[in-house]
Amino acid sequence: MQTLDDLIARGVAGRRVLVRADLNVPLAGAPGAQTITDDGRIRAAVPTITRLAEAGARVIVTSHLGRPKGEPDPRYSLAPVAARLGELLNRPVAFADDTVGPAALATVEGLADGEVALLENLRFNAGETAKDDAERGAFADRLAELADLYVGDGFGAVHRRHASVWDLPARLPHAAGGLIATEVGVLRRLTENVERPYAVVLGGAKVSDKLGVIDHLLERADRILIGGGMVFTFLAARGHRVGSSLLQEDQIPAVRDYLRRAEERGVEFVLPVDIVVAENFPDPETGASANPETVPADAMPEGRMGLDIGPESRKLYAARLADTATVFWNGPMGVFEHPEFADGTRAVAQALLDGDAFTVVGGGDSAAAVRLLGFDETAFGHISTGGGASLEYLEGKTLPGLAALED
């Protein structure tokens, strides 16, 4: 796999370099007046873009944002991202309000050496995510006409077989950007010659989203700590009632099998011993919930839903992380966006900082929680930009966006 260093060493001055970044950031507010609530992915893209611009390249940045239906949708415009990217780069960023149309062509044509442009949302074009190879390839052809070289640096999208990730590198000389090189290097530390004890903390809403990675980690991890909405399927598999909590009943047999296999292999599954429950999910406007209280995990009352791990569980999880050498964390322990139910997620983050382990925060909501709860990002070993991509890598899957960058 060619690196950014390799590309720059061969000379990029005056050449059009298309960078496939991942600028899929959360936005708040009405179209035209949106604000970015977490700019972590934009900041992660800055080093590669800066290096190319300083080497004299004409940098064309592309990305998706959200899930538009293959046509323009003002709710998912990258215009606010262009403004923030310019602030972080400390240089103007030209913005084209289409991706391969007249505005994109004119914007790219107007770039001078060392200048940067951002094209509108890739997913405003049906060809970006098309299942049909010909349709996807036709869109990749139009993107390729805009550039001389390709740099893949959108790690959060490398598990997608999309035009800008899979098809485009085949049409241009290509290299991996600095962010992808860093992400892959970190994930190798979680899969090859791992320092032990190796603990994995998994949370989030649905256990079905994590089945593949749990299956893979049963062969590799020493401890697996479970929280978030998915924990209630584990508690149900242990025979406990879970009230009105999120539960995937169809996954109970699979979870029971994981628990059995873990015991056979000596892998420790750590489940909460107490749960913070309430009568309803937090109100989206006020964040309030009805009558929160802490109950034993094996005695959850009917009509109450679990929204966080309890104080004794936080102590337990911190203790089971204290002596580790490597920790991978993906998924919050509760509804961390609301202060009443953020303490479990906060406790896990703090436990990672208190120990001496190499810590990897696996993107998505975990990375958002680190920032929302006010932790110093630089204190962690690595904060990934790709939750889904990280999980699929740990499952041992071939990621299309990485395979496309191989020579």
User: Model confidence over 336-389: pLDDT tens digits?
Assistant: 989 889 999 999 999 999 999 999 998 778 988 999 999 998 999 999 988 889
Residue ranges of the annotated binding site for (2R)-3-phosphoglycerate are: 41, 123, 160
- Burial state string for 1-11 with b = 16 or more CB within 10 A and e = fewer than 16: bebbeebbeee
Other residues' Cβ atoms within 10 Å of the Cβ of residue 301: 12
User: 186-395: same fold as 4-177?
Assistant: yes
Sign of the C-alpha dihedral, residues 396, 41, 49, 66? positive
- CATH number attached to the domain at 4-177: 3.40.50.1260
Note the pLDDT of residue 290: 75
In what helix (H) or strand (E) does residue 46 lie, and over which residues does it extend?
helix 40-54
Residue ranges of the annotated binding site are: 22-24, 41, 64-67, 123, 160, 210, 306, 337, 363-366
Sequence ranges of the domains in the chain: 4-177, 186-395
Up-side HSE of residue 325: CA atoms within 13 Å toward CB? 10
Find tokens 């390729």 and name the residue. Answer: 144
Active site residue 364: yes
pLDDT in tens, the chain (407 residues): 999 999 999 999 999 999 999 999 999 999 989 999 999 999 999 999 999 999 999 999 999 999 999 999 999 999 999 999 999 999 999 999 999 999 999 999 999 999 999 999 999 999 999 999 999 999 999 999 999 999 999 999 999 999 999 999 999 999 999 999 999 999 999 988 899 999 999 998 889 988 888 999 999 999 999 999 999 999 999 999 999 999 999 999 999 999 999 999 999 999 999 999 998 888 766 666 678 899 999 999 999 999 999 999 999 999 999 999 999 999 999 999 898 899 999 999 999 999 999 999 987 789 889 999 999 989 999 999 888 899 899 888 999 999 999 97
Active site residue 178: no
Angle at 194 between CA 189 and CA 198, to 5 degrees: 110
Q: Using alpha carbons, select from 205, 183, 160 the residue that is nearest to residue 363.
A: 183
Strand arrangement of the beta sheet that strand 149-152 belongs to: 93-96, 116-119, 58-62, 16-20, 149-152, 174-176
Contacts 24+ apart (CB under 8 A), 219-223: 219/265, 220/191, 220/194, 221/267, 222/196, 222/197, 222/198, 222/267, 222/268, 222/324, 223/197, 223/198, 223/199, 223/267, 223/268, 223/269, 223/270, 223/320, 223/324
Contacts 24+ apart (CB under 8 A), 107-113: 108/16, 108/58, 108/60, 108/146, 108/147, 111/16, 111/58, 111/59, 111/60, 112/58, 113/13, 113/14, 113/56, 113/57, 113/58
Sign of the C-alpha dihedral, residues 59, 65, 67, 68? negative
Q: Are 85 and 61 in contact (CB under 8 A)?
A: yes
**What mean pLDDT is reported for the chain?**
95
Other residues' Cβ atoms within 10 Å of the Cβ of residue 396: 13
- Burial state string for 220-253 with b = 16 or more CB within 10 A and e = fewer than 16: ebbbbbbbbbbbbbbbbbeebebbbbbbbeebbe
Candidates 43, 189, 206, 241; catalytic one: 206
Query: What would the pLDDT profile of 16-73 be if each residue is shown by its tens digit?
Result: 999 999 999 999 999 989 999 999 999 999 999 999 999 999 999 999 999 999 999 9
Candidates 229, 362, 364, 387; catalytic one: 364
Q: Tell me: domain 186-395, CATH 3.40.50.2300, correct?
A: no
Note the pLDDT of residue 283: 76
- Whole-number Å distance between alpha carbons of 2 and 404: 11
Candidates 20, 41, 58, 136; catalytic one: 41
